[in-house]
Chain A
Amino acid sequence: MSHSKKAEIFNKNEAKVNWHDKALWYVREKRDLSAHKVQGWEYLRELASGIKANVLSNLDEYLIQFEKNAQKNGIKVHWASNAEEHNIIVNNILAEHNAKKVVKSKSMLTEECHLNPYLESKGIEVIDTDLGERIVQLAKESPSHIVLPAIHKTKEEVDILFQEYLGTKPNFGNPEYLTHEARKHLRDKFLKADAAITGVNFAIADTGGFVVCTNEGNADMGAHLAKVHIACMGIEKIIPKEKHLGIFLRLLARSATGQPITTYSSHFNKPATGKEMHIVIVDNGRTEQLSREDFRASLHCIRCGACMNTCPIYRRSGGHSYDATIPGPIGSILSPGMDMKKHSSLPFASTLCGSCSNVCPVKINIHKQLYKWRQVIVKQQKQPLLKNSILKIAGVVLSKPRLYSLSGKSARFILKKAPKFMIYNRLNTWGKARDLPEVKNEIFDEWYKKRTKNG
């Protein structure tokens, strides 16, 4: 189903749309306040973008350097070309340790690879430990936002969900009570876990270490208690030097939630004595995106979600309407590269307002890439017959002034003379909720000619 269809369904409940819009706009406002306090914010974005551009142009060297340094520190490094390889590698590591219970902190990569169902099919229990992710996992849904996975759920819905799965008492959706009940539930899971899986926010080439950022402390609770820690990262997570974290960590949390920094920014360089640390480096379509000059910069993304919070379409259509691992503006330029047919409606789910590009901490020209994807999709994907013929005919008419003038006249004639029921029919999508402009007696061309004659 296209984005517009899903968005239309989401919009049937206007009160919920208003609620969703306000919740995310609030995050956008917090981001603004927080960024305003940083001297040199725009320069920071400039630097971050420049560093990421350098990374992409030297990615192979940085990955090799990272691997060498990580191995020197006793971290085991694995490489996966695609989702399937990634899942097999993770499963093999778990099998080696006979790990049956796994706790996982937030990782959009493992969502992308559908790791959970794969491991579950092998008889492994995987518990998502980020509260928002745990909520959607219990509800058997996917995250609707990359930073706020359960932003589409009301506290009352969480209340009911927790009553069913965690045995909580009815509490009229008290967030504090619900969070603390989840803490107890997850504490138990952490203490019993055989292995921990985390994502990676940044992997540093010159030290071979990696950084994981959370607010809840769930990545650390998992990684430091279990005997094995597996960290999964896309190839684009590399940064050249540790000092560059000084730029990215200043931008990340402020852009994401308006916090000056996440509660925990953990730097993993060596496994603890007696424990194992693994890194899985994954391509899964990223080098293909790297080959596309116009869309390459989408790989700068540090997954802050700011473009979602600011996007007026995302706020009013909900993350699930995008039907993609990564929703919102950034998802709409990443997803068509993964599966153009499935995601062909996404680049059109935008007014090209450009707010996404302005908030992006690594200055991805998101709205320009949306425009470019539209050109590619129209050429490569079959378009609806009506849209295709109208726009192609328009192209011809607009290139011939006389024909154009004639068609303008007849369109205005129809608008003016036709009875209302003929104009506001089901073919007129514009007119469902909006009036058409009132037609004046004279167009400007005619007025101007008259004036010139009289003048």
Chain B
Amino acid sequence: MKVGLFIPCYINQLYPQVAIATLELLEKLGQDVYYPEGQTCCGQPLGNSGYEENSKGACQIFVENFKEYDYIVGPSGSCIYHVKHHFDILEQTPEVIKVRDNAYELCEFIVKVLGKINLGASFPYKVGLHKSCHGLRGLKLGSCSEKMDAYYSIEENLLNQVIGLKLMILSRKDECCGFGGTFSVFEEAISVKMGKDRIKDHIDSHVEVITGADHSCLMHLEGLINRNKQPLKVMHIAEILNSCI
């Protein structure tokens, strides 16, 4: 079984430690992981801004890069969501369909495909989980607070197995952080306010480390935390699951 590692553009450039943790974690779980060269971007920023037409080239490159793998795994829910739900703008060749069907967000891959939840990690901190919207409501990584379905959370299941980790309860369990891609600059005032409110919820809940399965949300929150010098650390869930502290 060949796993193609999809590292979103901004993670490659700005958060290499997240990519490294993802790769190490998958290898630790016995996976045969390949990192295809020439990855650019899934096209999400363009699509979300209304420029889907201009993103076809990027989408096509994505399919070219990953068509030979059994699974495509990436540490970013929103990018995977984009591949699965918005690659309908491409001609639906067998290759495109295969890539869309086999693209997985990291946590989902570990739990659903590999069937594992205890990864032998330890991380002795109070952690707040930011449930990113595209992962939660789009990929259904967990039940949503709006719906009356039975409760579950793939990310919480994984974090609850981490030795020493204490998952803190937030007052708003799955409210959006306000990143929203280009929304973060085109609707700057609201985006910042939403981020501030999310952070306040984590601080009020005595969180030491905010984590999540989508680093774009975390980048936005980290930008606010650093600017306002708040006592919180931000880490991708892959980094925590790969920790042995």
Q: Interface on A for B, CB 8 Å cutoff?
A: 3-4, 7-8, 11, 14, 17, 21, 25, 32, 35-36, 38, 41-42, 310, 312-313, 316-317, 348-355, 357-359, 371, 374-375, 377-379, 383, 387, 391-392, 394-402, 404, 408, 411-412, 429-430, 432-437, 439-440, 442-445, 447-448
What is the bound-complex CA distance between A374 and B54, given in angstroms?
13
- Pair A395/B188 contact, Cβ less than 8 Å: no
What is the bound-complex CA distance between A166 and B41, given in angstroms?
61
- Pair B223/A430 contact, Cβ less than 8 Å: yes
- Pair A399/B137 contact, Cβ less than 8 Å: no
- Pair A432/B192 contact, Cβ less than 8 Å: yes
Q: Which secondary structure dominates where chain B touches chain A?
A: helix
- Pair A433/B188 contact, Cβ less than 8 Å: yes
- 17 additional A-B pairs beyond A7-B189, A401-B39, beta carbons within 8 Å, are A8-B188, A11-B189, A21-B197, A42-B149, A348-B183, A353-B180, A354-B137, A371-B47, A374-B48, A401-B37, A404-B40, A408-B13, A435-B226, A437-B14, A444-B16, A444-B20, A448-B35
Q: Please tell me which one of the listed residues B46, B181, B190 contacts residue A398 in the complex, with CB atoms under 8 A apart.
A: B46
- Pair A444/B11 contact, Cβ less than 8 Å: yes
Q: Which of B57-65, B99-107, B116-124, B159-167 contacts A (4 or more CB under 8 A)?
A: B57-65
Q: List 29 A-B contacts (CB under 8 A).
A: A7-B189, A11-B193, A38-B148, A42-B149, A310-B146, A312-B175, A312-B176, A350-B183, A351-B133, A351-B179, A353-B176, A378-B51, A379-B53, A392-B54, A396-B54, A397-B40, A398-B41, A402-B38, A404-B41, A408-B13, A412-B14, A429-B188, A430-B184, A437-B14, A437-B219, A439-B14, A443-B13, A444-B7, A444-B19
- Pair B46/A11 contact, Cβ less than 8 Å: no
Q: Using A432-B192, A436-B223 as known contacts, say yes or no to A3 and B55 having CB atoms under 8 A apart.
A: no
- Pair B7/A36 contact, Cβ less than 8 Å: no
Asked if B32 is at the interface of the complex by the 8 Å CB criterion, the answer is no
Query: Which residues on A sit within 8 Å (CB–CB) of B45?
Result: 391, 394
Query: Which residues on A sit within 8 Å (CB–CB) of B148?
Result: 35-36, 38, 41-42
Query: Which residues on B sit within 8 Å (CB–CB) of A38?
Result: 148
Query: Which residues on B sit within 8 Å (CB–CB) of A310?
Result: 146
What is the bound-complex CA distance between A176 and B7, given in angstroms?
58
What is the bound-complex CA distance between A353 and B194, given in angstroms?
12
Q: Please tell me which one of the listed residues B48, B53, B138, B172 contacts residue A25 in the complex, with CB atoms under 8 A apart.
A: B172
- Pair B190/A313 contact, Cβ less than 8 Å: yes
What is the bound-complex CA distance between A432 and B179, given in angstroms?
14
- Which of chain B's residues 63-96 have a Cβ closer than 8 Å to chain A? 86
Query: Which residues on A sit within 8 Å (CB–CB) of B222?
Result: 435, 437
Query: Which residues on B sit within 8 Å (CB–CB) of A313?
Result: 187, 190, 194
- Pair A348/B186 contact, Cβ less than 8 Å: yes
- Which of chain B's residues 1-41 have a Cβ closer than 8 Å to chain A? 7, 9, 11-17, 19-20, 23, 35, 37-41
What is the bound-complex CA distance between A401 and B23, given in angstroms?
21
Asked if B145 is at the interface of the complex by the 8 Å CB criterion, the answer is yes
B139: min CB distance to chain A, Å:
11
Asked if B111 is at the interface of the complex by the 8 Å CB criterion, the answer is no
Instruction: Kindly count the residue-residue contacts between A and B in the assembled complex, taking CB atoms under 8 Å apart.
Output: 207
Q: Please tell me which one of the listed residues B146, B178, B189 contacts residue A358 in the complex, with CB atoms under 8 A apart.
A: B146
Query: Which residues on B sit within 8 Å (CB–CB) of A17?
Result: 193
B242: min CB distance to chain A, Å:
14
Range, interface on chain B: 35 or more
- Pair A447/B190 contact, Cβ less than 8 Å: no
- Pair B58/A398 contact, Cβ less than 8 Å: yes
What is the bound-complex CA distance between A445 and B39, given in angstroms?
9
Q: Please tell me which one of the listed residues A349, A399, A434, A448 contacts residue B187 in the complex, with CB atoms under 8 A apart.
A: A349
A304: min CB distance to chain B, Å:
13
Q: Please tell me which one of the listed residues A4, A350, A371, A442 contacts residue B189 in the complex, with CB atoms under 8 A apart.
A: A4
- Pair B187/A348 contact, Cβ less than 8 Å: yes
Residue of B nearest to A42 (CB): B148
What is the bound-complex CA distance between A392 and B56, given in angstroms?
11
- Pair B17/A440 contact, Cβ less than 8 Å: yes
Q: Using A11-B189, A313-B187, A398-B58 as known contacts, say yes or no to A447 and B16 having CB atoms under 8 A apart.
A: yes
What is the bound-complex CA distance between A397 and B13, given in angstroms?
15
What is the bound-complex CA distance between A40 and B48, given in angstroms?
34
A222: min CB distance to chain B, Å:
35
A271: min CB distance to chain B, Å:
41
Q: Using A316-B194, A412-B13, A437-B219 as known contacts, say yes or no to A32 and B146 having CB atoms under 8 A apart.
A: yes
What is the bound-complex CA distance between A171 and B142, given in angstroms?
48
Query: Which residues on A sit within 8 Å (CB–CB) of B52?
Result: 375
Q: Which 10 A-B pairs have the closest CB atoms?
A: A399-B57, A351-B180, A434-B223, A395-B54, A378-B50, A374-B50, A358-B146, A401-B38, A354-B137, A353-B133
A367: min CB distance to chain B, Å:
8
Query: Which residues on B sit within 8 Å (CB–CB) of A398?
Result: 9, 40-41, 43, 46, 55, 57-58, 61
What is the bound-complex CA distance between A25 and B45, given in angstroms?
29
- Pair A429/B185 contact, Cβ less than 8 Å: yes
Query: Which residues on B sit within 8 Å (CB–CB) of A355?
Result: 133, 137, 144, 146, 174-176
What is the bound-complex CA distance between A434 and B229, given in angstroms?
11
Query: Which residues on A sit within 8 Å (CB–CB) of B134?
Result: 352, 354
Annotate B185-212 by CB proximity to A: 1 below 8 A, 0 otherwise. Answer: 1111111111101000000000000000
Query: Which residues on B sit within 8 Å (CB–CB) of A41?
Result: 148
Query: Which residues on A sit within 8 Å (CB–CB) of B37?
Result: 401, 445
What is the bound-complex CA distance between A399 and B222, given in angstroms?
29
Q: Please tell me which one of the listed residues A312, A397, A404 contacts residue B194 in the complex, with CB atoms under 8 A apart.
A: A312
- Pair B46/A395 contact, Cβ less than 8 Å: yes
